[in-house]
Amino acid sequence: MSSREPRASGYFRSSYAQGLRLLETRTQWTALVLFLTALGIFPFTATSFQLDLACQVFLAAIGAIALMLLTGYAGQVSLGHAGLIAAGAFTAGILFKEFGAKFWITIPAAAVVGALIGLIFGLPSLRLRGLYLAVSTLALHFIVVYLGGEYETKRGFSTGILIDAPRVGDFIIRDRKIWYFVLLSFAAAALLISLNLLRSRTGRAWAAIRSHETIAEALGIGVPAHKLLAFVISSSMTAVAGALFGYYRGFVSVEAFSLFLSIQYVAMIIIGGMGSLLGAILGAVFVTLLPYVIEYAVAQLPNARSYAGMLAAFNYAAFGVVMILFLIFEPQGLVGIWRRVQNYFLLWPFKQKPLGGGRK
Amino acid sequence: MLKRNLMVAAVLAGLTGAAAAQDAYNVGLTGALTGPAAGTYAPAVDGLRIYIDKVNAAGGVNGKKVNLILLDDSAQPAKAAANATRLVNDDKVVLLLNASLSSTFAPTIAESQKGNVPLIFASSVCPKDVYPPANALQFCTTAFAANYDSRAVLDFVKATAKEPVKLGLSAMAIPISRGEIDYAEELSKTLGMTPVSKQIIPPPTPDYTPFATLIKDAGANWVYSWAPWVTQVRTLEGLRRLGWTGDYIAWAHLEAENELARLKDGKLYVVGANALFQEDLPIHKEIAAAAKAANSQYPVNQMAEGWIAGMVIEAALKAAGWPANTDKVTASLSNLKVDLKGLRGGELQWTKDNHFRTKQYYRVYRFDEAKGAIVRVRDWQAFDVK
Amino acid sequence: MQLAINIAVLTAIYALIACGYVLIYRVSRVLNLAHGELMMLSAYLLITTASLFSKTPFIALGAAIFLSLCVGVLVYLFLMRRMTGEMVLAAVLTTVALGVLLRGLVVLIWSAQQQNPAQALGWVNHSLPVFGGRISAAGAALIATTALVYVGLFLFLRFSRYGIRMRAAGQNPLLAAQRGISLHVIYALAWGLSTLTGALAGILISLDSGLDSTMVLIGLKAFPAALVGGLDSLVGALLGSLIIAAAEVLMIYYVDALLSDVVPFLVLILMLVFRPWGLFGTREELDRV
């Protein structure tokens, strides 16, 4: 997606401005326009179940992009992603229930709360690395879920907080087609923000920190500030995804944000491919759709009903197997496969990479 | 990117295969068929499936088959939401069922309201919306119900206890159980009991003894627990291990019949609204035979909830006629009387305002050590629901 | 007095689980996040062996524990061996994936219903009076087992040939390998032992209070204990377990039971802020360019 090299073989850039461009060739433009058209037509041809899946994918994509910024680019591991999503959702839910706040207040508020939490839980990252950091973010998850549960019980919303559909003037966003476009634009915004961050100074600083902290510091990069910035931006985006989840589903409850959700997000960026935004999106698509594909496959088997009771267990097992297979055999993730396929066609009829050509 | 889209489209196109039978009543269920909570719900759902299969084999309802679509949500709200969306919009069900943890209620209700489809809670706890004045679209066939259960329990405690009651309370740290125990605490005060200790126990607790110690040290002589079976029974086991000899009363979940026989504790009372299978009524024999014929993997004595839901669905569809739509089904559900043939204390009746039942019956059982069997302590006691 | 007993039992539970984390981390720097699931798997294996050897509970127990040891070794041979030399994080994520897989498999094989291994073994969990309080037989067994396991591990690591090799591999794998120590054997042994101790914990807990999938969460709760003590120190694991268990039980007694769920992680954060390598852990080396 963000092409640092031109499509064709060889390196033709002659200025920094060219290096910063998002789209370089006419083919890329055509592909983008075609892709956008396809996205635009999709809701008018899909059943509402498919639309629902697409919306889930968009929501997951926002979260996955945010986690990719933090883990895949800045190199800071987080296992508390579900906690942040919960924090965003609860911010929206509580503001709505207690103050009747409108969505143009609750969603920015969720972003602010997310940023604050990101700041606080980014602090350990200044001292901790790798595993220890992952563990401290795990603690974040438990704390947020505890607080959310307390709120639900104390206020008597024992089956979750119901949130009304957002309303602009007299218009209520309820139709799934409209939701599709709303979530699509949020996901696109998240993608664009990330692309811009990554091709600017901040993104380069993150990459340097990920590669080697000491060297980055020696090069004059403010390591603590940039680490915190990564946490703040990523958490803020995640919290917005959480608030959107609350509005889209019409409810917020602690049970929706289990530790397994965090694992799913980590799986998205692994399966998609670390260090690539395209990877985050592919991972979000893959992980979101996998259980439904399995369900569909099982439904095709003869005597499907007798397996129905096994489905979730089967899903769990398959999810674990897929994750293991990717970790062992394709650490580059789906993006790695995609690049290999691309290279195959780019280099054809040669098998090896010609000097200076092909995509890394 | 384009490739990704094509892939998505291909996958999605594949998923639409869910065949919607045109010439049948479509009824959809989202339930915890698998996952950690499944133990409580899956047997009931299997009972429902067997009942509907039996109805279909006998020619269906009004000459049409009932197409029961079972979707698994593993008690995850997000999954339940996706299931409900699919059932309402794609499968065009005339009736929606929920058999899962209370965390899935909010999304299922949201979809039922959007699509104007009636929703029955079957084997999942009854939400307050089904009590009079009931929400137009929500119904509940489940035996256990917030507030009424505690009323029945405390009524029994008051009638049975010989000395002043010092009540210990135990809940699981999930909102629905905590809410009920809070209610019981207040109610016990009005009945002249002293609540001495209230323990709210987080679900993944390796050792219940600390909680039990607190209840025992507070001097409780009766302990009441309204929670998933694990919490109820582990609190009791913790108390007994500490040498506590008081009376313990808990809700008779589906597991109760097997568990009473396992625990063999003469002072453990369970309050329930379903007749235990050891009564061996003709209807129980019928369920056992059907389950055997269907080769079910679940214990027969946990299927009553599903059977009752099946009876209700059959009666409602029959009254709604053919072709049925959601409005007709809602109308027939709002004016329904089903003879439960002894599975409960009396018939289940729904009116326009009352989607719970007009009379709720409770029975109390315990294990009799001398007889080596489960015995009835108090027969059906009716409580009016207003 | 009952308070002390309650703390002792919980400490024993956490310590027995925590030493599994420590064993693997110490030799290979990998954090095994599937430990809870492996524990659960062992307890379920007991259900199966109990039905196979219903007459002889001790054979059933022994078979389940032996099978667990095999599972640990097999997990290393077929899965984690491929991850040696990879980034540590990738290895940790592999254990997460393994955990997810095991959770699914357990339900597929044994169903999600609540199980009672004690009943399957025909064993009654009596309670015994001690020092003015009471303790369940399984609780007492837990404390005894934990003591035995820790003494055994100390002796093993200090004096036995393979124990010394294990420590060497943990200190400097490259040097150890060059001195002729087979790293794969050592790692497989560590996985086997870790699963074995986890199995003891899982089996005893399930004998005490039944078995279902929440067992996994208990495994996860023991993890702060290992970390607070220092991930590569057995003494640390013991002390960390005591701290976490005491904090939890005192919280239940005197403050709010609901906080008991969060407290281990709060202690953990405090520890991470002030002394990330734990009470007895080795301080990680600084980066060099």
At residue A353 the predicted structure's pLDDT band, cuts being 50, 70 and 90, is low
A139 lies in some domain = yes
Contact C104, C114 (CB under 8 A): no
Query: Do residues B154 and B188 make contact, with C-beta atoms less than 8 angstroms apart?
Result: yes
Question: What mean pLDDT do residues B120-138 have?
Answer: 87
Q: What is the mean pLDDT of residues B309-325?
A: 90
CB B344 within 8 A of CB B324: no
Q: What is the pLDDT of residue C284?
A: 66
Confirm whether A72 is domain-assigned.
Answer: yes
Tokens of B109: 């209700």
Which of A67, A76, A131 best tests the C interface by mutation, with the highest count of C CBs <10 A?
A131
Reported as a pLDDT band with limits 50, 70 and 90, residue B20 is very low
DSSP letter for each residue of A276-329: -HHHHHHHHHHHHHHHHHHHHHHHHSTTGGGGGGGHHHHHHHHHHHHHHHHHHH
Q: Return the ∠ at Cα C105 (arms to C102 and C110), rounded to 5°.
A: 120
* Mean pLDDT, residues B361-379: 89
Q: From the candidates B209, B213, B255, which should be mutated to test the interface with C, based on the most C CB atoms within 10 A?
A: B209
The pLDDT of A313-325, averaged and rounded, is 86
Structure token digits, residue A266: 């980590």
CB nearest to A253's CB, from B34, B79, B103: B103
Of A3-7, A38-42, A218-222, B261-265, minimum mean pLDDT range: A3-7
A241, pLDDT greater than 90: yes
Give the whole-angstrom CA distance, residue C79 versus residue A332: 18
Contact B2 A38 (CB under 8 A): yes
Q: Point out the residue among A124, A270, A316 whose CB comes nearest to the CB of C272.
A: A124
C112:A132 CB<8 A: no
Radius of gyration of chain C (CA): 19
Q: Which residue of B has its CA nearest to C10?
A: B207
Q: Are A161 and A253 in contact (CB under 8 A)?
A: yes
Two structure tokens written together for B277 = 């299978």
Residue C287 has pLDDT above 60, yes or no: no
Count up the domains in chain C and report the number: 1
Structure tokens at A20: 């910063």
- The answer to whether B96 and B80 have CB atoms below 8 angstroms apart is no
Q: Which of the other chains make 3 or more beta carbon contacts under 8 angstroms with chain A?
A: B, C
Residue that has been written with the tokens 């909830």 in this structure:
B305
Domain positions in chain B? 23-143+280-358, 148-276+362-384
What is the ipTM, given to two decimal places?
0.82
Q: Between chains, do B243 and C134 touch, taking CB under 8 Å as contact? A: yes
Residue A197 sits in which domain range?
25-258
Q: Which residues of A touch C266 (CB under 8 A)?
A: 139, 143
pLDDT computed for residue C217 by the predictor: 84
- Chain A residues with CB under 8 Å of B90 CB are 47-49
CB neighbours (10 Å) of residue B294? 16
* Digit-coded pLDDT (tens) for B185-243: 999 999 989 999 999 888 778 888 889 999 998 999 999 999 888 889 889 988 988 88
**Selected residue with higher pLDDT from A32 and A10:** A32
In a domain, A307, yes or no: no
CA dihedral C211→C216→C222→C223, nearest 10 degrees, is: 170
Edge-first strand listing for the sheet containing B24-31:
B65-72, B24-31, B95-99, B119-121, B138-140
Measured between CA atoms, how close is B85 to chain A, in angstroms?
6
| Residue B35: closest C-alpha in chain C | C112
Radius of gyration of chain A from its Cα atoms, rounded to whole angstroms: 21
Structural domain count, chain A: 1
Of B36, B208, B255, the CB nearest to C213: B36
pLDDT-derived band at A307 (thresholds 50, 70, 90) equals low
Report the share of chain C in percent with pLDDT over 90: 39
Q: Does C64 touch chain A (CB under 8 A)?
A: no
Q: With CB atoms and an 8 Å threshold, state whether C97 touches A130.
A: no
| Residues paired with residue B126 on neighbouring β-strands, in sequence order | B145
* CATH fold of B148-276+362-384: Rossmann fold (3.40.50)
Exposed, middle or buried, A342 (CB in 10 Å: 0-12/13-18/19+)? middle
DSSP reduced 3-state for A257: coil
Cα distances from B316 to residues B336, B338, C15, in angstroms, run: 7, 9, 57
Confidence (pLDDT) at A280: 94
Residues of B in contact with C119 (CB under 8 A): 262
Measured CA to CA, the distance from residue A355 to residue A357 in angstroms comes to: 6
- Residues in CB range of A111: below 8 A, 6 or more apart: A88, A236, A237, A239, A240
C-chain residues within 8 Å CB-CB of B201?
257
Quick check: is C287 in a domain? no
Flag whether A337 is in a domain.
no
pLDDT beyond 80 at B19: no
Measured CA to CA in angstroms, residue C232 lies from A79, C79, C246, C284 at distances of 22, 22, 22, 11
Q: Has residue B373 got a pLDDT over 70?
A: yes
The nearest alpha carbon in chain A to B105 belongs to A159
Is residue A356, in this structure, part of any structural domain at all? Answer: no
Q: Per residue in B195-205, pLDDT tens?
A: 999 998 887 78
b/e map B311-350, b = 16+ CB within 10 Å: bbbbbbbebbeeebebebbbbbbbebebebbebbbeebeb
B171 bridge partner residues: B200
Mean pLDDT of chain C, nearest integer: 87
Check pLDDT > 70 for residue B124. Answer: yes
For B352, which DSSP code? Answer: S
Number of H helices, E strands in chain B: 12, 14
- CATH number (domain holding residue C145): 1.10.3470
Identify the three-state secondary structure at position B89.
helix
Mean pLDDT on A46-61: 89
Query: Which residue intervals of chain B are DSSP H helices?
Result: 2-15, 38-57, 77-85, 105-115, 148-160, 175-190, 209-217, 229-241, 256-263, 282-293, 304-320, 326-333
Ramachandran angles phi, psi of C127, nearest 5°:
-115, 145
In a domain? residue A135: yes
Chains touching B (at least 3 CB pairs under 8 A) are A, C
Cβ–Cβ gap B175/A292 under 8 Å: no
For residue A308, give the nearest of B3, B33, B105 by CB distance.
B33
User: B131 in helix, strand or coil?
Assistant: coil
pLDDT over 80 at A157, yes or no:
no
Predicted local distance difference test score (pLDDT) of residue A205: 93
Probe site for chain C from B45, B200, B207 (most C CB atoms < 10 A): B207
In chain C, residues 201-220 whose CB comes closer than 8 Å to chain B: 205, 208-210, 212-214, 217-218, 220
Are C136 and B213 a contacting pair at CB < 8 A? Answer: no
Q: Give the whole-angstrom CA distance, residue B41 versus residue B199.
A: 26
Cα separations in angstroms, C142 against A139, B274, C12, C146, C191: 27, 39, 6, 6, 21
List the single residue in C114, C217, C253 with the smallest CB-CB distance to B230. Answer: C114
Where on the phi/psi map is residue B209: left (φ > 0), alpha (ψ -120 to 50), or beta? alpha
Residue A44's identity, in one-letter code, is F
- Tell me: pLDDT of A13 over 70: no
- Tell me the sheet residues that pair with B364: B271, B378
State the average pLDDT over residues C117-131: 79
- The pLDDT-based confidence of A306 (bands split at 50, 70, 90) is low
Domain that holds residue C36: 2-274
Give CA–CA dist B146/A157, Å, rounded: 14
Least confident of A129-133, A255-259, B358-362, C274-278: A129-133
Q: Is A213 in contact with C287 (Cβ distance < 8 A)?
A: yes
Helix-, strand-, coil-residue percentages of chain B, each rounded to 5: 45, 25, 35
Neighbouring C-alpha atoms within 13 Å toward the C-beta of C57 = 10
The mean per-residue pLDDT over the stretch C108-126 comes to 78
Q: Which residue of A121, A137, A142 to mutate against C (max C Cβ within 10 Å)? A: A142
At position A357, the amino acid (one-letter code) is: G
Exposure string for A57-89, b = 16+ CB within 10 A, e = fewer: bbbbbbbbbbbbbbbbbbbbbbbbbbbbbbbbb
pLDDT at A3: 44
Q: How far is B106 from chain A (nearest CA, A)?
A: 6
Asked if B230 lies within 8 A of C205 by C-beta distance, the reply is no
The CB density around residue A285, as the number of other CB atoms within 10 Å, is 27
> Which are the contacts of C189, defined by CB distance < 8 A and separation ≥ 6?
C73, C162, C166
Average pLDDT over residues C8-27: 92
Mean pLDDT of A32-52: 87
Q: Give how far B343 is from chain A: nearest CA, Å.
A: 25
Q: A162, B109: Cβ pair inside 8 Å? A: yes
- Answer yes or no: is pLDDT of B4 > 70: no
* Superfamily grouping for domain B23-143+280-358: Response regulator (3.40.50.2300)
Average confidence score pLDDT of chain A: 84
More confident residue, B292 or A24: B292
Q: Count A/C contacts: CB-CB distance under 8 Å.
A: 123
Which chain A residues are Cβ-neighbours of C104 within 8 angstroms? 312-320
Q: Where are the alpha helices (DSSP H) in C111-182?
A: 117-120, 137-159, 161-171, 173-178
The residue assigned the tokens 């390591």 is: A223
Residue A12 reports pLDDT greater than 80: no
More confident position, C73 or A333: C73
From the CB of residue C178, how many other CB atoms can be counted at a distance below 10 Å?
Answer: 9
Give yes or no for residue C122 having a pLDDT over 80.
Answer: no
Per-residue tokens: B367: 């294990």
Q: Which residue has the tokens 């399930």?
A: C206
Between B319 and A17, the more confident residue is B319
Residue A291 touches partner C, C-beta closer than 8 Å? no
- Calculate the average pLDDT of chain B: 86
Cα of B135 vs its chain's centroid, Å: 19
Test mutation, B72, B93, B296, chain A, max A CBs within 10 A: B72
Calpha distance C276→A134 (Å, rounded): 12
Q: Measured in whole angstroms, how far is the alpha carbon of residue C194 from the centre of its chain?
A: 7
How far apart (Å, rounded) are the C-alpha atoms in residues B174 and B180? 10
Report yes or no: B210 at the C interface, CB cutoff 8 Å: yes
Concatenated DSSP letters for C39-79?
HHHHHHHHHHHHHHTTT-HHHHHHHHHHHHHHHHHHHHHHT
Percent of chain B with pLDDT over 90: 33
Distance CA C76, CA C95 (A): 10
User: Strands C133-136 and B359-368: what pairing?
Assistant: unpaired
- Residue A11: the pLDDT is 58
- Among chain B residues, CA nearest to C128: B241
Rounded Cα distance between B322 and C266, Å, is 61
For residue B18, is pLDDT > 50? no
- The answer to whether residue A4 scores a pLDDT higher than 50 is no
pLDDT at B170: 93
Question: Half-sphere exposure of residue B110, counting CA atoms within 13 Å on the CB side?
Answer: 27
Across the beta sheet with B268-272, the strand order is B194-201, B166-172, B222-225, B247-251, B268-272, B359-368, B373-384
- For an interface test with C, the pick among A127, A324, A332 (most C C-beta atoms closer than 10 Å) comes out as A324
Residue B76's SS3 state is coil
Which chains pack against C, by 3+ Cβ pairs within 8 A?
A, B
